[in-house]
Every structure is written in C-alpha cells, then in structure tokens.
C-alpha cells in the first residue's frame, strides 16, 4: 500500500470549454468516493494548457492543477512566455523538462535547472521529467543519460529542496508510441533513479517517481504495483475522461 499520483498531461489539446467540461465530469465521478479515505492517498493532477488554468481553478476539490511549462524570469521582454507569478494562484505544480520541451523547443538542462529553482522559490512543486531516447537505450546508455540529466538538473539544490521535487521517468521511445516499458524495465530504472537522487542529495530517502509513456487502463495497474513506481504521468489516455477515470479507479485499489 502506498500513496500514488495520477497525473494528466494534456499537452496542446483541448479548448477552454472542453477543459471545463472534462474537470466537471471527472469531479462528479470522483465525488462517489468523497467519504472513502483511500481517495486522500491518491493525488489527482491535471496539466491543462496554461490558458485553461484560470477557468478550471476551483472547479474540483479532488483535482489539483499544474502548468505544463514556466519561464524562469519574473517578467520582461520574453514574447510568448509565462511566468510563475501569472499562474501561481491557479496551480500547485509545474511540469519541467518534458522531453517534448527538450527536443522540440531545445530546452537545455541549464534552463531546466533554472526553472526548477523558479518553481521552488514560488512554492510550486516541480515535476521534473527525465528519460532516454531509443538510440540511447539501444546503445546501452540509458543509465548514463539519466544520471547526466539528474546531475545537471539538480545541480546546486540542497537536500531539503530536492525533497520537494517529484520526478517522472518518461522513456522518450514510449511516449505516444503505444510502446510501454515493461513493468520490470520501468522498475529497474526507477530503482536506479532513486539511488542517483540519494547520491546527489547525500540523503537516503523515498522519492516520488512517476512513470510516463503509453500508460493506459490496460497496463496501469501492473506498472503501479512495482515498488518504486509511485504514480503515472499520462498523455493520450488522459484526454478521454472514461480512460483517465478508469486508471484512477484501478489505482484506488492499490492505495
């Protein structure tokens, strides 16, 4: 029995009315468990497009919101960017370093490091994503790559700050491909990530590490039963309220 986080990353999908309709529908479904103490052990998070954070805010007491990206400066001439100050009231979490940001938008570990700092300074819990590409996995570089990302992204943070960070292991080759890491593959990596973070912070601690990459109702339970997998970060299957709810329902049996 463990606490779990079930998080939806909607990426660039859904209009404001669609976001509102989803959260209202999910809230009604979740309210059947209002008196079930297990629901408190489940963190349910949605990362909608930033424009929907304000309209979605306050619509469900069961669901927390997070932003998909933030910029590390407070204000100024940064066309198209969003600062934490602008979204702080409507969010509790900030997704940082998603592989799509790293690959498509060429975000560097240095920038990711600054975004984590900005997020922590503002009191938002960072959800840091790391993961290897298919080439790296095939070249047997998975662990090197993950260690490298962790070392750069966490550089300069004292253990007490590292404690506040949630991690997501998202193998790039499993994102949106229908190809999931097997529960054993994911567990092996999660155990490695836990060890690496402990080494970096100099403290032996339990870490919250979510798995992401083609998670769906059919495979979620098997993944989430693994010892070091503390939740799921879901893309495609979170866009549909039935499948996202089905994953939550299955997770409730594990907490």
| Region of 35-43, 52-60, 110-118, 207-215 interacting with ligand 13P (CB under 6 A) | 207-215
Q: Which of 111, 170, 190, 196 is catalytic?
A: 170
Is 18 designated active site? Answer: no
Shortest CB 47 distance to ligand 13P, Å: 8
Q: Which stretch binds ligand 13P (CB under 6 A): 73-81, 156-164, 201-209, 227-235?
A: 227-235
Query: In angstroms, rounded to a whole number, what is the distance separating the alpha carbons of residues 161 and 149?
Result: 17
- Nearer to ligand 13P by Cβ, of 30 and 231: the residue is 231
Helix 109-121, helix 142-153: angle, nearest 10: 50
Catalytic residue among 98, 136, 190, 196: 98
Q: Give the tokens for residue 249.
A: 């329902």
Among 60, 118, 119, 214, binds ligand 13P (CB under 6 A): 214
248 and 30 Cβ atoms separated by less than 8 Å: yes
170 counts as catalytic: yes
Among 84, 94, 236, 247, binds ligand 13P (CB under 6 A): 236
Residue 126 binds ligand 13P (CB under 6 A): no
Closer to ligand 13P at the Cβ: 9 or 230? Answer: 9
Contacts of 168 by beta carbon, 8 Å cutoff, 6+ apart: 7, 127, 128, 129, 130, 209, 210, 211, 212, 233
Phi, psi of 211 (to 5 degrees): -105, 140
Which of residues 43, 126, 171, 213 is near ligand 13P by CB under 6 A?
Answer: 213
- In the list 4, 234, 247, 248, the residue contacting ligand 13P (rule: CB under 6 A) is 234
Question: Do 241 and 27 meet the contact criterion of CB atoms below 8 Å apart?
Answer: no
Helix (H, G, I), strand (E, B) or coil at 237: helix
Q: Give me the 56-95 binding string for ligand 13P, x by CB under 6 A, dash otherwise.
A: ----------------------------------------
What residues contact 20, with CB distance under 8 A and at least 6 apart? 52, 55, 56, 59
Residue among 63, 52, 130 nearest 96 (CA): 130
Residues of this chain that bind ligand 13P (CB under 6 A): 9, 98, 170, 175-176, 212-215, 233-237
């Amino acid at each position: 029995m463990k606490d779990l986080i079930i998080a939806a990353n909607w990426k660039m999908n859904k209009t404001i009315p669609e976001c509102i309709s989803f959260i209202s529908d999910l809230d009604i479904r979740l309210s059947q468990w209002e008196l079930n103490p297990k629901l408190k052990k489940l963190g349910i998070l949605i990362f909608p497009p930033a424009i929907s954070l304000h309209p979605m805010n306050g619509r469900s007491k069961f669901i927390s919101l997070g932003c998909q990206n933030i910029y590390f400066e407070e204000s100024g001439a940064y066309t198209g960017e969003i600062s934490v100050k602008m979204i702080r009231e409507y969010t509790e979490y900030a997704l940082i370093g998603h592989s799509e940001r790293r690959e498509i938008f060429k975000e560097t570990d240095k920038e990711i490091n600054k975004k984590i700092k900005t997020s922590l300074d503002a009191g938002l819990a960072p959800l840091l994503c790391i993961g290897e590409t298919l080439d790296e996995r095939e070249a047997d570089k998975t662990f090197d790559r993950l260690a490298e990302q962790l070392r750069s992204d966490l550089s300069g943070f004292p253990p007490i700050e590292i404690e506040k960070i949630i991690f997501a292991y998202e193998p790039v080759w499993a994102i949106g491909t229908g190809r999931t890491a097997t529960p054993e593959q994911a567990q092996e990596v999660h155990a490695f990530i836990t060890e690496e973070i402990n080494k970096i912070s100099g403290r032996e601690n339990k870490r919250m590490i979510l798995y992401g990459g083609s998670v769906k109702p059919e495979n979620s339970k098997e993944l989430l039963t693994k010892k070091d997998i503390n939740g799921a970060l879901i893309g495609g299957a979170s866009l549909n309220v039935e499948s996202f709810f089905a994953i939550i329902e299955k997770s409730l049996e594990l907490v």
